[in-house]
Chains A and B, each alone.
Chain A
Amino acid sequence: MSVALTAIRKSYAAPDAPRTRRLILDLPALRLGSGEQVALTGPSGSGKSTLLHIIAGTLEPDAGTVVHDWGGQPFPMTASRPALCDRYRGRHIGCVFQGSPLLAGLNARDNVLLALTVTGRVADRRWADELLEALGLAQRAHHLPSQLSPGQRVRVACARALVGRPQLLLVDEPTAALDHASAGLLLDLLLPLAAQLRACVLVITHDPAVVARVGRELPLATLQRGLAC
Chain B
Amino acid sequence: MLSLLAVAWRRVWQRRTSTLLTATSVALSAGLAVLLLLVRTQGLQLLAHGPRGFDLIIGPKGSGIDLTLTTLFHLESATGTISWSFYDSLQHDPSWHGAVAQAVPLAVGDSVDGCDLIATTPDLFAVVGGASPAGVRPAPSAADGGGALAAGEMMRDGTIQAVVGAEVPRLTGLEIGASFRPTHGTGDGIDPNEVHQRSFTIVGVLAPTGTVFDRCVFVTLAGFWSIDEHERGLHDQALVRAAAAGSASAGASGSGEVPDGDQDPPPSRVAADGTVQLGLPVTERRLSMILVRSRGEFSAQSILYRVNSGDQAMAVNPTLILAGLSRTLLAPALRLGAALVALVLSMATLGVLLSSYHAVHAQALELATLRALGASRRWLLTLISSEAALCGLLGAVCGLVPAHLLMAVVEWWMRARLGGGAPWWQPGWPDLLVVLLAGAAAALAGLVPGYVAGRQMVAEQLC
Contact of A82 among B2, B377, B459 (CB under 8 A): B377
Contact between A89 and B372 (Cβ–Cβ < 8 Å)? Answer: yes
Choose from B4, B376, B458 the contact partner of A83 (Cβ within 8 Å).
B376
Q: Please, which residue of chain B has its CB at the minimum distance from the CB of A112? A: B2
- A58 close to B373 (CB less than 8 A): no
Contact B14–A110 (Cβ < 8 Å): no
B12's closest neighbor in chain A, by CB? A105
Chain B, residue nearest A88 (CB) = B374
Decide if A118 touches B11 in the complex (CB within 8 Å). Answer: no
Alpha-carbon separation in the docked complex, A103 to B12 (Å): 12
Complex contact B463–A50 (CB within 8 A): yes
Which residues does chain A contribute within 8 Å of B370, judged by CB atoms? 103, 114, 118
Beta-carbon contacts under 8 Å, A56-92 to B:
56, 58-59, 82-83, 86-87, 89-91
Residues of B349-389 whose CB lies within 8 A of A:
365-366, 368-379
Which B residues fall within an 8 A CB radius of A? 1-4, 7, 10-11, 13-14, 365-366, 368-379, 457-459, 462-463
Best-surrounded residue of B369, B374, B379 (most CB of chain A within 10 A): B374
Beta-carbon nearest neighbor of A90 in chain B: B374
Given A53-B463, A117-B2, also A86-B7 (CB < 8 A): no
- Please name all residues of chain A whose beta carbon is closer than 8 Å to the beta carbon of B377 when the two chains form the complex: 82-83, 86
Residues of A within 8 A of B13 (CB): 105
Contact A101/B369 with A50-B463, A82-B377, A110-B2 known, Cβ cut-off 8 Å: yes
Query: With the chains together, A110 CA to B6 CA distance in Å?
Result: 10
Beyond A49-B463, A82-B377, A83-B378, whether A106 also contacts B372 by CB under 8 A is no
What residue of chain A has the Cβ atom nearest to residue B461's Cβ?
A: A101
Evaluate contact between A97 and B14: CB separation under 8 angstroms. Answer: no
B102: shortest Cβ distance to chain A, in Å?
70
Given the complex, which residues of A lie within 8 Å of B365, measured CB to CB? 99, 101
Question: Would A86 and B375 count as touching, CB distance under 8 A?
Answer: yes
CB distance from A77 to the nearest CB of B (A): 13
Chain A residues closer than 8 Å to B2, beta-carbon distance? 106, 110, 113-114, 117, 123
User: Which A residues lie at the B interface, using CB under 8 A?
Assistant: 49-50, 53, 56, 58-59, 82-83, 86-87, 89-91, 95, 97-99, 101-106, 110, 113-115, 117-119, 123, 160, 164, 172
Closest to A95 in B: B372
Query: Which residues on the B side are within 8 Å of A118 (C-beta)?
Result: 370, 373-375, 379
* Min C-beta distance of B209 to chain A, whole Å: 55
B384 to chain A, nearest CB (A): 14
Bound: A50/B459 CA distance, A? 8
Q: Which residue of A lies closest to B463 (CB)?
A: A49
Contacts of A99 in B (CB 8 A): 365
Using Cβ atoms and an 8 Å threshold, which residues of chain A touch B371? Answer: 58, 86
* B369 & A117 in contact (Cβ 8 Å cutoff): no
A105 proximity list for chain B (CB < 8 A):
10-11, 13-14
Q: List 29 A-B contacts (CB under 8 A).
A: A49-B459, A50-B459, A50-B463, A53-B458, A59-B457, A59-B459, A82-B376, A83-B377, A86-B374, A86-B376, A86-B377, A89-B373, A101-B365, A101-B366, A101-B368, A101-B462, A103-B369, A104-B14, A104-B366, A105-B10, A105-B14, A106-B2, A110-B10, A114-B373, A115-B373, A117-B2, A118-B370, A119-B373, A119-B374
Q: How far is the CA of A16 from the CA of B366 in the complex (A)?
A: 30
Given contacts A59-B458, A123-B2, 8 further A-B contacts (CB under 8 A): A56-B372, A58-B459, A86-B371, A97-B462, A101-B366, A101-B368, A101-B369, A114-B373
Residues of chain A contacted by B457 (CB below 8 angstroms): 59
A58-B458, A113-B2, A117-B2 known; A103 vs B10 contact (CB < 8 Å)? yes
Contact A103 to B7, CB < 8 A, known contacts A114-B2, A115-B373:
yes
Asked if residues B369 and A97 are in contact (CB atoms below 8 Å), the reply is yes
Are A98 and B373 closer than 8 Å at their CB atoms?
no
Q: Contact partner of A98 among B378, B458, B463, CB < 8 A?
A: B463
Report B-chain residues with C-beta under 8 Å of the C-beta of A117: 2-4, 7
Q: Which residue of A lies closest to B374 (CB)?
A: A90
A61 to chain B minimum Cβ distance, whole angstroms, is 11
Inside 8 A of B372's CB, which chain A residues have their CB? 56, 58, 89, 95, 97
Determine whether the beta carbon of A91 is less than 8 Å from that of B369. no
Residues of A within 8 A of B379 (CB): 118
Closest to A94 in B: B373
Are A90 and B375 CB-contacts (below 8 A) given A53-B458, A105-B14? Answer: yes
Q: How far is the CB of A150 from chain B (nearest CB, A)?
A: 15
Complex Cα distance A99/B368, Å? 13
Complex: A59 Cα to B461 Cα, angstroms: 11
In order of increasing CB-CB distance, the 3 nearest A-B pairs are A90-B374, A105-B14, A105-B10
Interface pair B462/A98, CB less than 8 Å apart: yes
C-alpha gap A151/B1 in the complex (Å): 27
Chain A hits for B375, CB < 8 A: 86, 90, 118-119
Q: Are B376 and A106 in contact (CB under 8 A)?
A: no
Query: How far does the alpha carbon of A215 sit from the alpha carbon of B3 in the complex, in Å?
Result: 40
CA distance A104 to B365 in the complex (A): 11
Taking CB as reference atom, which chain A residue is nearest B372?
A95
C-alpha gap A14/B463 in the complex (Å): 17
Residue from B1, B4, B372, B375 with most neighbouring chain A CB atoms (10 Å): B372
List B contacts of A113 (CB < 8 A). Answer: 2
A103 touches B462 (CB 8 A): no
A208 CB, min distance to chain B CBs, angstroms: 22
Instruction: Tell whether, in the assembled complex, residue B369 and residue A58 are in contact, meaning their CB atoms are under 8 Å apart.
Output: no
Q: Which of A58, A90, A102, A106 sits near B462, CB closer than 8 Å?
A: A58
Contact between chains at A114 and B7 (CB < 8 Å) = yes
User: What's the least CB distance linking B25 to chain A, in Å?
Assistant: 22
B3 cross-chain contacts in A, Cβ below 8 A: 117
With A50-B459, A58-B458: A90-B10 Cβ-Cβ less than 8 Å = no
Closest to B462 in A: A97
User: Across the two chains, which residue of chain A brings its CB closest to B460?
Assistant: A59
